[in-house]
Amino acid sequence: MQITWQYSSFNELTPAELYAVMQLRNQVFVVEQNCVYQDADNKDQGSFHLMGWHNDSLIAYCRIVPPGIAFAAASIGRVVSSPDARKKGHGRALMEQAIDKTLAEFDCKIVMIGAQLYLQKFYESLGFVQVSEPYLEDNIPHIEMQFTA
């Protein structure tokens, strides 16, 4: 499956791209995970958006958040893969690019994430380490993790 990667600021997103982002996030985080929460949290506008497209379908996405918005350090959030595109390495490719983009965009050495606990081993395989005790966010167990370049 050929993936085309796109990196955009919020203001560079077309209405169709923003709709695809919100649709994928809601498909996975609200419907699939059966979690009612406010996805539109006013962090998107100041963030950068990394999208993986296959033809016209958004199959992988995350947002890259400047320091001081979600964490004191720069962070990666809303990491999501389309259910139809899982187990093909796209999530790993997404995160590798997201780490590189975050380090370059903010000229930093540390990247933070708030990870769902069940994905801890995946993020550890990318070089993240747990830096907090587990906590509930929207009734889902999470941990804070840090990547240091």
| 39-83 pLDDT, tens digit each | 999 999 999 999 999 999 999 999 999 999 999 999 999 999 999
Per-residue confidence (pLDDT) for residue 105, from 0 to 100: 96
Other Cβ atoms closer than 10 A to 109: 11
Question: 117: domain range?
Answer: 4-148
User: What is the pLDDT averaged over residues 117-143?
Assistant: 96
**How many domains is the chain partitioned into structurally?**
1
CATH code: domain of residue 77: 3.40.630.30
Helix (H) or strand (E) holding 20: helix 15-25
Per-residue confidence (pLDDT) for residue 71, from 0 to 100: 97
User: What is the pLDDT averaged over residues 19-47?
Assistant: 93
Half-sphere exposure of 90 (CA within 13 A, CB side): 25
Instruction: Sort strands 110-116 and 74-81 into parallel, antiparallel or unpaired.
Output: parallel
Query: Does residue 62 contact residue 79 with C-beta atoms inside 8 Å?
Result: yes
User: What is the pLDDT averaged over residues 130-144?
Assistant: 95
Per-residue confidence (pLDDT) for residue 38, from 0 to 100: 87
